[in-house]
Structure formats: structure tokens, C-alpha cells
Amino acid sequence: MKCTRFVFALGMLFACGPSNRDPGGGDDTQPGPDAAVTTEPRHCNKMDLVFVIDDSGSMQEEQSNLATNFPMFATLLSNYVTPDGEKIDYRIAVTTTGKDLMYTVNNGPISIPMNESGDDGGFRNNCNMTKRYLEPTDANMQTVLSCRANVGTGGPSYEMPLLMTKWALGNRVADGTNAGFLRDDALLGIVMLTDEDDASTEQNNFTVTATSQPPVDFHPANLIQFLDTLKGNRSRWASGVIAGPTDCNSSFGNAAKATRLQDFVMQANSNGTVQASFSSICDGNLTAALQKTLDTFQTACGVVIF
């Protein structure tokens, strides 16, 4: 019954959401982040979706719950027809919140060296499919997407969704790892899911205590500026964050207050648009959070400039 309600709710979202495609195809101009927003009705025919999922040790229950919803989410996207008679041309990629990291934990007289491995923003190419992003025409797309969303719990201890979003769409595109994913005429949608606050740092080989954080040096404003530059306009990207609004707990475990991720949402929306949304990972059922995220993407589609 929950699955049926989820599919119905998402279907209503797409049926009622505004649109983003100029029937004439638009042009190739790249207006700046502060350019005026168009009110011309457009159809949301193209979306590039990136999921940045926490793969640290505390995330097993949340990831399993998310993975069970992905086949329904993929089916809805594959079957939906826009008012102009076209299906949504989407791409979906999955990466994680961790990077390769060496650091030392200093606990009084004892120093413990740590060496952790992460995806460094690389899109997953597992689950019997080597391509790093999925499209509607891919065989067994729903099954592969569900598999990739269940990213495991063996990732680094420090979650860096802000920096890994930048690395996924910047560094890993530049070095060819994630090449071919981004399209100039598609809305970029980013979903960050974690039960901790962001701890993004570009440093390595640092020292922490048992209670301290790494030397955070990549901030919400840095990612917003990167995305504005990458897409050419604030209206061309949107984000949904699913994390802790406070220190909270649910049947899926505990979550820490994600202060930096809440700041990212507030700053992204600071120009009066709705580019980002925040949902609680402690709600117990992630379907509502996914619905809110898709609603945000649809709202952003209604004012996108191409």
C-alpha cells in the first residue's frame, strides 16, 4: 500500500509540475547567475540527476529503504509523458559522500593513523553495468538503479556531500571519469542523503581528536558558486537535501543536525527562488522526502533559462 501511494503521489507531482523546455529548443547563450528569470511555460523534458549518498557505517537502514523506492521512482520517470507528448529524457548517476583520506586520531598518548577509501566523486559503474549513468533505454534500469543506490557502509567516516558534489561534476568530469553525463540543455538535479553534517575538506594528512572534526575548508557558498558557474544560471540546477534537521532518531537509527547542509539550502534559495529543499532523514519513510525533492526540481523546471 505504501508503494502504491508513493507512485501515485509522484505521478501527481509530475502531472501538476511546471515545465522547462522551450519548444523551439532555446539557444546556446549562457546568462549569468543573476539574469532575469523567464515566466514562459516550458516542459521539463530533460533532467540530469545525481544522488550523493552517505556510505559510512551508520547508514545501512537508510540506504536499504532508499534502494527499495528507486524502482518505483525509475518506472515513473520512464512512463511519464509531458504535455507536449514527449517522455522525460533523464540520466541518473550515483556517487557517495567519501573521498580517499588519510588522517591521525590523537587520543592523549595514543595516535592512531587512519587510511580510508572513497569514491572521490566518481559515479558508480557496478551492478553488472559498466556505464556510469543510467538512461530510460538501459536494460534492467530499475534493478541496476536500486542496486547502485544501496552503496554499502564501508565508506570513510567523514561525510563530505558538498565537496563530493563538486568533485563529481567538476574534477571527475575533467579527468574523464564522469565524462558525457552533463548536458547543457538539461536541468541538473542533486540529491544529498546523509545522517551526519557535512565535513568537507580538501586537505589530507591532518590530525583530529576523538571529538573534533577535520579542518573544514569547503563551504556551502563554494558549491553554490561552482554550480552557478557550471550551469551558467542559478535557474538551471536544483537540489534536495535529506539529512538531520536536529539531532534526531527514528526506526532507521540516529542522525546529527546537519547545520552546514541547512545553510546550503538557505543560501541556494537566497535570491528568492526555490532551488533547494531540506527534508528530514528521521521521518522514518524516505518516500515523502523524495517526493519533496522532486517537487523542488519541478518548481525549478518552471523558471529554467536555456
* Residue 119 resides in a domain: yes
Q: How far apart are CA 177 and CA 167, in angstroms?
A: 11
Q: Which domain holds residue 97?
A: 44-301
Pairwise CA distance, residues 244 & 278, whole Å: 9
Cell reading at 13: 507531482
Cα 170 to Cα 124, 173, 265: the distances in Å are 16, 5, 20
Instruction: Give CA–CA dist 238/34, Å, rounded.
Output: 15
Any idea what the CATH number is for the domain that residue 183 is in?
3.40.50.410
- If one counts every other C-beta atom within 10 angstroms of the C-beta of residue 62, the result is 22
Q: Could you tell me the pTM of the whole model?
A: 0.82
Count of CB atoms situated within 10 Å of the CB of 9? 16
Position 80 scores a pLDDT of: 66
pLDDT of residue 24: 33
Q: Which helix (H) or strand (E) holds 146?
A: helix 141-149
pLDDT at res. 302: 62
29-41 tens-digit pLDDT: 344 444 444 445 4
Range ranked top by mean pLDDT from 38-42, 81-85, 182-186, 293-297: 182-186
CB 18 within 8 A of CB 301: yes
> What angle is formed at CA 136 by the lines to CA 72 and CA 45, rounded to 5 degrees?
95
Work out how many domains the chain is built from and give that number: 1
Q: Strands 89-96, 276-280: parallel, antiparallel or unpaired by DSSP?
A: unpaired
Residue 14 lies in a domain: no
The answer to whether residue 105 is domain-embedded is yes
- What integer is the mean pLDDT of 129-149? 89
Side-chain half-sphere of 145: how many Cα atoms within 13 Å?
A: 28
Answer whether residue 291 is part of any domain.
Answer: yes
Model confidence pLDDT, tens digit, residues 117-134: 999 999 999 999 999 999
Q: Is residue 35 part of a domain?
A: no
Q: Give the pLDDT mean for 283-300.
A: 74
Task: Say which residues have a Cβ less than 8 Å from residue 8's Cβ, sequence separation at least 6.
Answer: none
Mean pLDDT for the stretch of residues 95-119: 92
